Structure 1
Amino acid sequence: MLRGLMTLSLGITVLAAGTVQAATPLDGVWLFDNAPSYPGVTMVQLSSDGGKPRGVVTTAWYGPMEMRNLVIQGEKATFELRNLNDKDHATRQWTALLAGKDLKLSGDIWYAHVEQSGGHGTAVDARARTFKTTVLPPLGSLPPDGLAKTPPMGWSSWNKFAEKIDDKTVRAMADALVATGLRDAGYVYVNIDDGWQGTRGPDGAIRPNEKFPDMKGLADYIHARGLKFGLYSAPGPKTCAGFEGSYGHVQQDAKTFADWGVDYLKYDLCSGEWFYDDADKVQRAYYEMGAALRATGRPIVYSLCEYGRFEVGSWGRKVGGHLWRTTGDITDDYATMARIGFDRNGRAEHAGPGGWNDPDMLEIGNGGMSHDEYATHMTLWAMSAAPLMMGHDLRQSSPEVLKMLENREVIAVDQDALGVQGKAVRREGATEVWTKPLADGAVAVALFNRGEASVTMTATPADVGLETVQAVRDLWAGVDLEASLKVFAVPEHGVVLLKVKGR
């Protein structure tokens, strides 16, 4: 940040007699109370003293934001603010207009249109509202810690509940994991995503909000059921849902998480995009939390959620990561799931024991796709050695959904000890043939039909990398087939998943 833009003398001339004279009617400090939660504008500072106008908008989400292309004409200022969340619209237009004694501010940023009115403030007010910036540590490299030898499996709250999550629901999800058999199938993490954070105490320690009266007690409840406990935070001042992030409190938060008994942390870039806008800063931001988690001495799986920026798979392990998002958020529809799973699933060479490409959580059970589309979803994630984090209400799992999620043979493809991420070996029109070598010498083969009508497909021994085929098993049907790669009927948006042995 340009520290000169945050000085308290911005926009005013101090006279010998101690009075203050503004260069234009807009110059000075403007305070905004009762601001909308996003982006949370709290102060505007304007100056045209010296000929070149300058200005800063201070927000709760992004801290001090320098005005760009600022023009002051009479009682009106026009300017642009950088908008890193929307790459197609990197700047947004704003105006500040004097209306009587108030400054009316309006503009767009990311998903919101902002209109606020504020009044003049003093240098003392400016000091109170000045955003306290922090300095990132130098980039280091953390050694492997032996965690996440296979892709993590469990449940996360966001896809179904978003920020409307509470202690009672999380306990119910833990109970459901046990009662349904999902825990015994390998789904052991119970992860609270965004929405649990409250305010910070006088010592700066993060406290949960009223929906989570005892976070340590909740962790104990989850652990007592043979499960692991996960939380969510962000390197910026605010999380994606507008709750308290870890900015300026990274080491303190890591210790708090460890003290509560956290086993998994998802760290979501969100408002940190403003502060950490290039590869070096993003890597150092994620390294800072990775090092802080290691320093606690508690084994904590570290999930990097920065949407695949800056080829994260090439450096995710070095900053302590065990999985890293390769894309933006999934939604419960075939088009989005397929785009992510087929085209945004990360480079295979980055995946392996201790570090995994993460195409986001599972939508199976949320109702937006057909049975065949969900089978494609599960197969894509298994073939990609992706983390399997369910995202539906486990209490409402139908027998069909449970049968799909608990298919041990499909899970085994995902959890295979060799840790190789599968990939497409042949694409023809709307069909794709994927293969994934397995630790026992067999090969998982997926025949995907992305088209709108049923088709017949086959795979050749050459596709599979074998000279001869000795055994074929249909993993979704759970039956052994004749030892040949015959023609298979694959429904629209559907899949056939095979395990092939040969030599």
Structure 2
Amino acid sequence: MRFLLVALCLIFALQVPAQARSAAEGVWLFDNAPSYPGVTMLEVANDAGAISGSVTTEWYGPMTFENGRVEGDTLTFDLRNINDNAHPIRRWTAQFTPSGVKLTGDIWYAHVEQNGRRGGVKDAEARAFRFAPDLPPLGTIAPDKLAATPPMGWSSWNKFGDKIDDTTVRAMADTLVATGLRDAGYLYVNIDDGWQGKRDANGVLQPNAKFPDMKALTDYVHSKGLKIGIYTSQGPRTCAGYEGSYGHIQRDAQTFADWGFDYLKHDLCSGEWFYNDADKVKRSYYEMGLALKATGRSMLYSLCQYGRFNVSEWGRSVGGHLWRTTGDITDDYKTMSDIGFERNPKFGHAGPGGWNDPDMLEVGNGGMSEDEYITHLTLWAIQAAPLIMGHDLRQTSENALRLLTNRDVIAIDQDAKGVQGRAVREDGKLEIWRKELADGSVALALFNRGEAPAPMAPTAADANLARLTEARDLWRGAAVAVEELHFVVPAHGAVMLRVKGDSI
């Protein structure tokens, strides 16, 4: 309806003598726009002095502006900014000259300076964004038996970004087997952003030249005793600017199933403009959840919406098996610890079939010390987080492999009870966390977030037990006498124990 009104205003404006209109009114076209955000058109209408209109982009469709004001040959207006709570509104300007317009503004991380030319109503129709059908009413998808424990595997994004290809994916599958990582539980080989090509005449999304045969690739990974995942967005563009699934949800879900994928990561990305409140975000994930179920193929469903709108409370009901609780991790102690200690613990509802996801592992990428990586793995394991590696597996050091394949620590993460551990004692920079386990034992994690080594001594009370009878140091792989549970924990380091005792 808004675009019909704008079009009518434009038609009326074009029928008025030129001297009666301001220089701003009408349709303005931008050719050869930079890929992000891909501004293609500016539409401006004047209704009795009220300036309205939109900026059309390839990523976000038509972005309606507010507070439009024309002074002389300059239009100023405000656009809602994408994914930036600190600066939710950005001011734009359009400077008009006899030869065209210069549009200037900022959106997310991009600065836009584009020169455009005047167009007409037919141009506006040709460049108009094609909206997808309305989202389905929100419903509930019945739980299945997938993801009884947190998923484990590897993803391409942290190391390779969108520079990923068929050969590298096959090499990662081979290395999972050769290093023993597969046998330790890392089963999923996940292709993240960067595989997408264009749609064919029937609207079926094709892979780009780096992935010549997706079905052959999934068959190869399956032949190694592994599973394979893929990535898309509910927006027109993925985070790296490739073709998204907007308007093609059912078709793309069936394509992924036909190719033989076992896991889908669905990333909000440019969908943030279209789905900008809790109801729309939930319905957009529900739409893909329904589409995946309709294929008849069992696929893990990973929701990537950065923890918005209390996702752990509704992730299961839209078909999700894991859901991101945070923005992207990076390979440094500050970001990792902020996510692990502060962000992920805010979310509940984790357990068999659905898991809080604090993002991928950075172990093996080299940005942290071994003690910091021990903290990283300990935090993820005690919180029952998915363990999805993000480094080049071919370059895994002996130390990194030793950490990643520690069966005792993996067993804490994969425990059948599915409890997300929590902090039970804090003393400044020192924290003790507890996780109850299916066999009646308890995992305790001792964390030193300070800058110097510190003594720590867990007690039976920390484990919610009357008395401790057994203890095992999981990183050292050795039993510890319960009378000797005194540790000097390194700066940014951790100790992980599995203890048994008498109930209170």
Interval containing the TM-score (normalised by the shorter chain): over 0.9
Residue 22 to residue 311, structure 1, CA distance change in 2 (3 Å): farther
Amino acid at match of 1:328: G
**Distance (whole Å) between structure 2 residues aligned to residue 460 and residue 2 of structure 1:** 65
Q: Tell me which amino acid in the other structure corresponds to 1:27.
A: E
**CA, structure 1 residues 147+22, in 2 after alignment: closer, same or farther (shift >3 Å)?**
farther
Runs (4+) off by over 4 Å: 19-22
Letter in 2 for 1:28: G
SS of the aligned residue for 2:411 comes to helix
Mapping for residues 83-482 of structure 1, pairs under 5 Å: 83-134=81-132, 135-347=134-346, 349-482=348-481
Q: 8 Å contact 1:22–1:28 — kept in the other structure?
A: no
What is the aligned partner in structure 1 of residue 77 from structure 2?
A: 79
Deviation at 1:7, TM superposition (A): 2.9
Query: Does structure 2 conserve the Cα–Cα contact (< 8 Å) formed by 1:11 and 1:48?
Result: no
Please give the per-residue CA displacement for 1:303-351, whole angstroms capped at 9, x wherever unaligned: 0000000000000000000000001110000000000000111446410
Shift of 1:463: 1.0
Kindly provide the CA deviation profile for residues 408-444 of structure 1, in whole angstroms up to 9, marking residues without a partner as x: 0100000000000001000100000001011111000
SS in structure 1 of the partner of residue 466 of structure 2: coil
Cα distance, 1:203 vs. partner?
Answer: 0.9
CA distance in 1, matches of 2:157, 2:84: 22
Q: Which residue, out of 35, 53, 56, partners 2:54?
A: 56
Per-residue CA deviations over 1:156-201 (Å, capped at 9, x if unaligned) read: 0000001111111111111110110000000010001111111111
Q: Which residue of 2 aligns with 1:13?
A: 13
- Of the three residues 37, 40, 45, the one matched with 2:38 is 40
The equivalent position to 1:29 in structure 2, one of 23, 27, 37, is 27
State the alpha-carbon separation in 2 of the partners of residues 189 and 490 from structure 1: 33
Matched residue type, 1:385:
A
Report the secondary structure of 2:344's partner residue.
coil
Aligned-pair identity in percent equals 64
1:113 Cα deviation after fit: 0.5
CA contact (8 A) 2:375 2:493 kept: yes
Maintained 8 Å contact 1:157/1:391: yes
Query: 1:11 Cα shift?
Result: 6.5
Give the Cα separation in 2 of the matches to 1:11 and 1:359. 51
Runs (5+) with no aligned partner, structure 1 = none
Cα deviation for residue 10 of structure 1 reads 2.8
Opposite residue 13 of structure 1, the aligned amino acid is A
State the number of aligned residues: 501
Q: Deviations over 1:252-303 (max 9, x none)?
A: 1100010011100111111111111111000000000011001100001000
State the AA in 1 paired with 2:33: A
Deviations 1:332-391 (A, max 9, x none): 000000000001114464100000000000000000000000000000000000000000
Q: Which SS does the other structure have where 1:48 is aligned?
A: strand
Distance 1:387 1:49 in 2: 54
| CA distance, structure 1, for counterparts of residue 144 and residue 19 of structure 2 | 61
Deviation at 1:247, TM superposition (A): 0.6
Which has the larger displacement, 218-227 or 41-50? 41-50
Check 1:415–1:389 CA distance in 2 against 1; reply closer, same or farther (3 A cut): same
Match of 2:416, SS state, is: coil
Q: Quote the Cα distance in structure 2 between the aligned partners of 1:240 and 1:346.
A: 26
- Relative distance call for 1:5 and 1:96 in structure 2 (3 A) is farther
By how many angstroms is 1:100 displaced?
2.9
Cα distance in 2 for partners of 1:23, 1:463 equals: 75
When residues 350 and 42 of structure 1 are mapped into structure 2, their CA distance, relative to the original with a 3 A threshold, is same
Cα distance in structure 1, aligned partners of 2:449 and 2:73? 58
SS at match of 2:318: coil
Instruction: Give the Cα–Cα distance (whole angstroms) in 2 for the partners of residues 424 and 363 of structure 1.
Output: 23
